[in-house]
Amino acid sequence: MKVKHTDSYYAASRNQQFDFPKLMGDHVADVCVIGSGITGATAALELANKGFKVIVLEANRVGWGASGRSGGQAIFGWASEQDTLEKLVGKSDARKLWDISVEALALTKSNINKYSIDCDWRDGMVHVGVKPRHDKELKAWYDDLTENYGYESLEMWDQEKTHHHIASKKYTSGMFDSNSGHLHPLNYTLGLVNAAKQAGAEFYEDSAVTKIEHGDPATLFTKNGTVKANHVILACNAYMDGLETKLENKVMPVGTYICATEPLGEDFTGALMKDHIAACDINFVLDYFRCSGDHRMLFGGRVSYSGVAPFNLEKAMRGRMVDIFPQLSDAKIDYAWGGNVAITMNRAPHFGRLKPNVYFAQGFSGHGIAATGWQAH
Ligand SMILES: Cc1cc2nc3c(=O)[nH]c(=O)nc-3n(C[C@H](O)[C@H](O)[C@H](O)COP(=O)(O)OP(=O)(O)OC[C@H]3O[C@@H](n4cnc5c(N)ncnc54)[C@H](O)[C@@H]3O)c2cc1C
């Protein structure tokens, strides 16, 4: 029996259903992609469009990992802020990384349009502060991005304006970006998978790669089959599970959680969050939230470093949500779920080559919805 998608609002509202076969027997490919989240699906799509023979091997189901469970907020920049990147790689390369992140957002929107992906995209996302120190940090961030990076879609909100957009008394300021936005991450991923399939990529589910014999070509082994491939792309992020320990040791899988209320109606959610924007605070352990296409509150937060979900997840998530929005104290929770993000030590992403013909991308540190797509294209 194939593993199901995790029981979430996204799985319940997915608009495409795939049932790809298990890899059986011996195959050859120009490129073998391991993992079918946004990273793997985008890589497969781009390469198949260029005429390469692509095989995607997925241990579970397409979109089963973080890409199918995520908060769905597609945001500029990286989890490590620009000043950290400047210290790590210098100003010039930090600038290139910044440009990549902005291009990644454009690519996400362009993929949605080009491949007609029905994934509830909405423009607008705000980072909010909860205390005077945050207000200063947000203002300094805004100044840096507008003055040094020329990013023009930002707006600073004072407490009143923030409250006008988000009906919670908790927030003291906001940095709004009209260029960021949010989407249904599983439907986006499945839309990419569908486009890649139509471009000729072959997908196999329930086909965990258990070993890679490096060489030219490399040979990848699953329980019932093999793929000989000239190039390999590792797109396993926080779910690699022992395949390449050298890479796996560079990231820490950290659990993060989301709950979805019952549908609340457009008027109710529109009053909670004006213009259907997404929001995220800037605490170290942050709350992130937005309303779904069918007008539920999707409220995310909490972390688990042990991989064990909080006891009574639904109750734990409800507590956080009602603390921010007491208006939701009577709302029924229909779903609560979690997934792993891959955190690097400095929160900068980790991508590159493991061998001359083996590429990898991981460690998006909770900031991968847009970025995963760019580095794979
Ligand atoms: C709850 C949650 C909320 C999040 N919220 C946000 C957000 O709001 N904004 C944002 O930007 N980011 C967010 N993220 C992070 C974002 O979702 C990830 O950065 C991104 O989806 C990673 O995509 P990926 O394709 O690299 O990995 P994944 O989507 O995790 O895919 C990896 C796939 O590889 C497969 N795999 C692993 N090992 C093997 C193997 N040996 N053989 C075959 N297949 C294998 C797995 O089964 C999995 O399907 C969130 C993540 C979670 C979990």
- Which among 335, 317, 261, 293 has a CA at the least distance from the CA of 7? 335
Residue 233 within any structural domain of the chain: no
Measured in angstroms, how far is the CA atom of residue 252 from the centroid of ligand 1? 13
Burial level of 70, CB count in 10 A (0-12/13-18/19+)?
Answer: buried
Q: What is the gyration radius of the CA atoms in the chain, in angstroms?
A: 20
CB 127 within 8 A of CB 280: yes
Domain residue limits at 277 = 123-183+252-344
The residue whose CA is least distant from atom 51 of ligand 1 is 70
Pocket test for ligand 1, best of 122, 344, 354, 364 (most atoms within 8 A of CB): 364
The count of domains in the chain is 1
The per-residue pLDDT for range 249-278, each reduced to its tens digit, is 999 999 999 999 999 999 999 999 999 999
The per-residue pLDDT for range 318-369, each reduced to its tens digit, is 999 999 999 999 999 999 999 999 999 888 889 899 999 999 999 998 888 9
Residue 274's φ and ψ, nearest 5 degrees, are -65, 145
Ligand 1 site, residue 339, Cβ cutoff 6 A = yes
CATH number (domain holding residue 303): 3.30.9.10
Q: Which atom of ligand 1 is nearest to the CA of 255?
A: 53
Burial level of 303, CB count in 10 A (0-12/13-18/19+)?
Answer: middle
CB 218 within 8 A of CB 300: no
Residue 194 within any structural domain of the chain: no
Measured in angstroms, how far is the CA atom of residue 4 from the centroid of ligand 1? 15
pLDDT at 375: 61
Ligand 1 site, residue 243, Cβ cutoff 6 A = yes
Ligand 1 site, residue 44, Cβ cutoff 6 A = no
Residue 296 within any structural domain of the chain: yes
Q: Which atom of ligand 1 is nearest to the CA of 72?
A: 8
How confident is the model over 29-55, as a mean pLDDT? 97
The per-residue pLDDT for range 12-41, each reduced to its tens digit, is 999 999 999 999 999 999 999 999 999 999
Residue 156 within any structural domain of the chain: yes
Residue 4 within any structural domain of the chain: no
Residue 370 within any structural domain of the chain: no
Residue 219 within any structural domain of the chain: no
Query: What tokens does 155 get?
Result: 């707006």
The per-residue pLDDT for range 137-192, each reduced to its tens digit, is 999 999 999 999 999 999 999 999 999 999 999 999 999 999 999 999 999 999 99
Pocket test for ligand 1, best of 9, 108, 239 (most atoms within 8 A of CB): 239
